[in-house]
Structure 1
Amino acid sequence: MLQERESLEFDILFIGAGPANLASAIHLQHMVKRHNSLSKNPLDPAIAVIDKGRYAGAHLLSGALLDPKTFDEFFPDYRIQGCPVDTAVSNESIWYLTKKRKFLFPYVPELFSNKGKLLVSLSRLGAWMADEAQKDGIQLLDNTSASLPYIENGRLAGIVTDDKGLDKNGHKKANYEPGILLKTKAAVIGEGSDGSFFRKVCEHFPISTETIPQRFECGVKETWRIPPGRLVAGEIHQMFGYPLSSDVYGGGWLYALSSTLISIGFVTSLEPALPFCDPHLNLQHFKEHPLLAKILEGGSMIESGARTITSGGADAMPPLYGPGFLVVGETAGMVNMQRHKGLHLSMKSGILAAETLFESLLHNDFSTSQLETYSDRFKSSWAYDELYAARNYRGAFDHGLYSGLLHAGLQLKFPGLSITESFGKQPLDKKNALQQKKSSLITGKDTLTPDGKITFSKTESLYRSGTKHEENQPCHLLIKPDDIEEICLKKCMIEFDNPCRHFCPAQVYEIILNPHPTLKLNPSNCLHCKTCETVDPYGIITWTPPEGGGGPGYKLS
């Protein structure tokens, strides 16, 4: 019961320690300090950031190419202050791959160009930003999951953190600690893709039906150390084609953070209607291409991870505010799939949220009408203009690779162009499409034998992610017993042959056939990528945060 819990009170509470919320907290504190240096009525807000990772940056993973535009606006001396920028883009290329061959695009269109952009490790960037926030007097509560929203007087008035020390059956262990009630005047929700806490908030404050459903991709990434002399620091390559068929959206990258440290990864579309996919497998086959295998040969994979990517664009964004809360970053859909970038947009949303909250503190006004000004600020910003212009890019590839490329080319001349729905699209025979994707997946698995040198099993990749969980705790992947019995072990087995066995990058889901069909869950494997929840064809999997501190331990991703 809430009345039995310890409680703490804050003026502003940030849920999630990603780049959006950290930028927001830092900028807000800077504005407060500037105000106090000039005003006879100083502000002294209590500001805190909570995060479920066991340390700052532990759950942050991205490519990552950073457009420094937002940093230049709110933290112009970030490099002088020690921001861990690896290098700037030195040269770039786009390749189309077949199984054995490569075709270089003659030039990189300006809209896709990364000239002047920075190569960073997002986990290292997040750790640095968290340190800067703490230097500014902001409290960071790591190892802390937002478990439940606390609603009071028709508004979000706080959160309940996770209970610690429960066993698999929900019984209290000797080290049991009940979650704490954190009260706040305003919460900023920035959990990344497919936010679990935001979903619970939306149960109390439903999203308008005018918003189209969000969509997702899965990115699987590895960080490698390679022998010198093969790449130049700042060299980046974007690739599409192999190993995907022309009807599947996705592609890969290779970024040289230095001459010997590289980021390599692959993005796979997640389609609940056609759930036969294996993002981890796609990355392994991608690395087998001669262009990449030659670069990786003799190197060592030192870190691996996965996460979902929000890709619905401007039209799928949820409302950015509600009673007592603001929504920022990728939870709000701040990703430009045309540029394959979101960090600068996420941080910009955080900056605009900070400016809104500063006005709230200044006038002691946290009403919904005041918080709504954040949405107005966003719609008047360059971030909105960028997202709006790219709003139809991802959807064009629903018609296949070639019509998508044509559409993308036309959008270079006519931003935001949307070709008629039927253009380039063949009538969908779902039964045949399912069979084709299933056959393709089986063929892909049958033709890969991980060698432990360039290609790896899911077990080995999981080990390189640093993932740890308390084993004896309630399962955080919620599936109703009736759904397991009637859908997982009957309907899904017949219709889709249980694709959860394939699409999860961490082998969380297993089907045991003997002595009778059983779904076995391995929740301690979970990478917190949320692929399962977003591509589940029946929508019966609910991902909830496990005990705070669990999950991956990224340091270079």
Structure 2
Amino acid sequence: MITFRKPLEGIERPQMEADVVIIGGGPAGMACALRLAQLIDEHNAHHPDAQLSKDNIYVLEKAREVGQHCLSGALLDPRSMRELLPGFESEAPLDAEVTKESVYFFSKDKARKLPIVPPPLRDHGNYVISLNKFVKWMGQKVEEAGITVFTGFAGSALLFEDDSRDPELARVIGVRTDDKGVDKHGQPKANFEPGYDLRAKVTVLAEGTRGNCARQLIERLGLEDPEHAQTYGLGVKELWEVPAGRVAKGEVIYTLGWPLTTKEYGGAWIYGVSDTQISLGHVTGLDYEDPRVDPHHALQSFKEHPLMRRLLEGGKMLRYGAKSLPYGGWLTIPRIYGNGWMLLGDSASFLNSQRLKGIHLAIKTGMLAAETAFDALVSGDSSADTLSEYKASLDASWVRDELYPVRNFHQAFEHGRVEGILKAGIQFVLRGSNLGPDSKNEAGHLRLRPLDELGSWPGDRAPILYNAKGDGKLTFDRLTDVYHSGTRHEDDQPTHLVVADLNICNTRCIEEYGSPCQYFCPAAVYEMVESSESPSGKELHINFANCVHCKTCDIMDPYQIIYWVPPEGGGGPNYDGM
């Protein structure tokens, strides 16, 4: 199993001792840090002779600045923030309170508005936000509370006490940060700095979807049930400036249907950020059958719908981004605690796919993990027995109350939209239950079918096919969109997209699946180029500098031989204002 690039040999690495290390500075990680600081302050106020320190609590964030890699639609359910920081609305960067919702079903040329908005999609009282701005603000609160945030430092590998792979016995003792100043051949450059070994009593994994360290942990300890595998979607987003009056500030529009076929899961959103700015995007479930499905092209096709053309005419695309998100829900949550570690937020599938919301759940899981970490610090015991309080508190919280009744929702759509809607209706009547037992599901990449099994598709059910071009006004090619993501990587570094066996890509995959990486990647990272040396006549080139860190390749590669690992800290997209 490949989990990270081979470390340089014979390097003496700096050691740092920590009480708590939080890997990931998104909403889950920042909420965890802030809640932990609050608890320590309360403890110290009441126990002058048994003071706890915040000096050895660290947040590691791989981006150059806090919030830079954070991307979402985004709508914020304020429930958890009101618990974390009562009255936060008076100072947080909230763009608009939702005052209007509508839902449309799209065919290729028509839009039919649903007569009522389904209850899960009623967003009155929620807020349209830029997750980038919101997390940046949370980071300021964390630093004001006395917690150290290290930006530009990625968690490259977990540190274990021994070689045990038993989840009951294995102990995580910290994390190694990324080496800096390594050239593309894996050799130290003049500015080389070895990564730190941060040895921690408690390690909190809050890396977001398909986190590098979380994947290491889940695979090493077998924390995921293969009959309830984590499943994902890919959201592709653009931020637009449009003439005033097109979409009201605080207005929310959802769509389903075209450009997806009835066999694919997904939909789109339009959020009114201001009177002249809108957030729009399309999500494609990463459990489709046709390897030619192209999520980036789905967004471009979506904008060509007559309704979208009217909304966007005369406007200008400002920013672009893409991010995977967990869709499986409560049944697909892996084990979330063990000796010295806890798993939270998107890394552990805490997202409500029926409501299309997860930020509030990430924040709440961060808070509950902080309360458990605090108890571990007070008791001096970070064993699995102590950290199991995290799971117990989640089960007793409103997180379970929200997720358990929709535990079968995404799985209902396994065989397509029509059957999915019928099953979802039955679940609504039965409060989340199926007519039989709870649904099982497999990892999304296992549902991909070889090209020779697909045959032809009739009429409007033709699969979404790759299209590299756009008109430059309404639709855009991948490279133009990547430019608008602000993505930057140091060219002279090892690729952070590790392919275990390129021969499979150049022979089997191109013949069996048509090289789906060139379709599912929204950033033109994977390119099949002519080659006289390859038996197929083509070989895979990896343009890693384009990568927007969405993790789709790590998720959807049919052979599971692509591993996304952190690039040199600081590299990646810049989702300023997104």
Partner residue, 1:11: 19
Counterpart for residue 363 of structure 2 = 347
CA contact (8 A) 1:280 1:458 kept: yes
For 1:272-328, what per-residue CA distance to the aligned partner results, in whole angstroms no more than 9, with x for missing partners?
Answer: 754322111000000111111111111111110101111111111111101111111
2:67 pairs with 57, 62, 87, which one? Answer: 57
Q: Which residue of 1 aligns with 2:492?
A: 472
Alignment of 1:80-91 (within 5 A): 80=90, 82-91=91-100
State yes or no: 1:318 paired with 2:350. Answer: no
**Alpha-carbon spacing, 1:2–1:202, altered in 2? closer, same or farther (3 Å):** farther
CA spacing shift, 1:551–1:3, aligned 2, 3 Å: closer
* CA distance 1:431–1:419, shift in 2 (3 Å): farther
Residue among 59, 65, 72 paired with 2:82: 72
Q: Secondary structure at the match of 2:401?
A: helix
Q: Give the Cα separation in 1 of the matches to 2:158 and 2:240.
A: 40
Matching residue of 1:115: 124
Secondary structure class of the residue paired with 1:103: strand
Partners of 2:288 and 2:258 lie apart in 1 by: 22
**Worse overlay, 435-444 or 251-260:** 435-444
Contact 2:289/2:449, CA 8 A, preserved across alignment:
no
Aligned partner letter, 2:566: P
Matched residue, 2:111: 102
For residues 209 and 248 of structure 1, the distance between their equivalents in structure 2, rounded to whole angstroms, comes to 24
> Is this contact kept in 2: 1:2–1:181, CA < 8 A?
no
Given that 2:256 and 2:268 are in contact with CA atoms closer than 8 Å, whether structure 1 keeps it comes out as yes
Q: Is the 8 A contact 1:276 1:441 kept in 2?
A: no
Structure 1 residue 183, shift from structure 2 partner: 1.3
Q: Distance in 2 between matches of 1:437 and 1:304?
A: 31
Q: Equivalent residue for 2:205?
A: 189
- Who is 1:261 aligned against? 277
Offset, 1:413: 2.4
Q: In structure 2, do the counterparts of structure 1 residues 437 and 349 end up closer, same or farther at CA, with 3 Å as the change threshold? A: farther
1:398 aligns with 2:414: yes
1:182-229 residue CA offsets vs partner (Å, 9 max, x unmatched): 111101101111111112223543315476211111110011111112
> 2:543: which partner in 1?
522
Are the structure 2 counterparts of residues 56 and 438 from structure 1 closer, same or farther at C-alpha, using a change threshold of 3 Å? Answer: farther
Name the CA distance, whole Å, in 2 between partners of 1:429 and 1:549: 37
The residue that corresponds to 1:542 in the other structure is: 563
Alpha carbons of structure 1 residues 428 and 344: separation in structure 2 relative to 1, 3 Å: closer
* Letter aligned with residue 161 of structure 2: E
Q: CA deviation at 1:434?
A: 3.0
- The aligned residue for residue 484 of structure 1 is 502
Q: Deviations over 1:372-427 (max 9, x none)?
A: 1101111111101211111111011112111211222233322212256999xxx9
Structure 1 letter corresponding to 2:493: Q
Write the distance in 2 (CA, Å) between the matches of 1:432 and 1:91: 46
Structure 2: which 5+ runs fail to align? Answer: 1-8, 163-169, 440-446
Give, in whole Å, the separation in 1 of the partners of 2:462 and 2:207. Answer: 31
Q: Quick one: distance in 1 between partners of 2:438 and 2:206?
A: 36
Q: Choose which of 193, 199, 203 in structure 2 pairs with 1:177.
A: 193
Aligned residues: 549
Q: In structure 1, which of residues 455, 460, 463 is the aligned counterpart of residue 480 of structure 2?
A: 460
CA contact (8 A) 1:303 1:465 kept: yes
Partner of 1:224, secondary structure, is: strand
Aligned to 1:510: 527
**2:454 maps to 1:434:** yes
Offset at residue 68 of structure 1 (A) = 0.4
Deviation at 1:514, TM superposition (A): 3.5
The AA in structure 2 aligned to 1:495 is E
Aligned residue runs from structure 1 range 223-372, under 5 A: 223-271=239-287, 274-372=290-388
The alignment partner of 2:65 has SS state of coil
> Which amino acid in 2 is paired with 1:20?
A
- For structure 1, which segment, 63-72 or 509-518, has the greater mean C-alpha deviation from structure 2 after superposition? 509-518
**Aligned partners of 2:514, 2:340: CA distance in 1, in Å?**
44
Q: Is the alpha carbon distance of 1:203 and 1:404 closer, same or farther for their aligned partners in structure 2, counting shifts above 3 Å?
A: closer
Closer, same or farther in 2 for the Cα pair 1:428/1:296, shift >3 Å? Answer: closer
After TM superposition, the structure 1 = structure 2 runs for residues 145-164 of structure 1, keeping only pairs within 5 Å, are 145-152=154-161, 154-164=170-180
How far apart are residue 429 of structure 1 and its match? 8.8
Q: TM-score, normalised by structure 2?
A: 0.91
Aligned position for 2:136: 127
RMSD value, Cα: 2.3
**Distance apart, 1:449 and its partner CA:** 4.5
Distance 1:36 1:27 in 2: 14
Q: How far apart are 1:445 and its partner, in Å? A: 4.0
Counterparts in 2 of 1:274 and 1:38: CA distance versus 1, 3 Å: same
Q: Is contact 2:244–2:275 with CA below 8 Å preserved after alignment? A: yes
What residue number does 2:145 align with?
136
Q: Which of 398, 405, 413 pairs up with 1:382?
A: 398
Q: Is the 8 A contact 1:157 1:185 kept in 2?
A: yes
C-alpha distance in structure 2 between counterparts of 1:344 and 1:208, whole Å? 23
Deviation at 1:432, TM superposition (A): 6.9
Percent identity for Structure 1 against Structure 2 = 40
- TM (norm. structure 1) is 0.94
Structure 1 CA distance, aligned partners of 2:463 and 2:398?
A: 45
- 2:181/2:189 contact within 8 Å kept: yes
Deviation (angstroms), 1:39: 2.0
Which of 21, 33, 36 is residue 28 of structure 1 equivalent to? 36
Distance 2:114 2:259 in 1: 18
Q: CA, structure 1 residues 181+429, in 2 after alignment: closer, same or farther (shift >3 Å)? A: closer
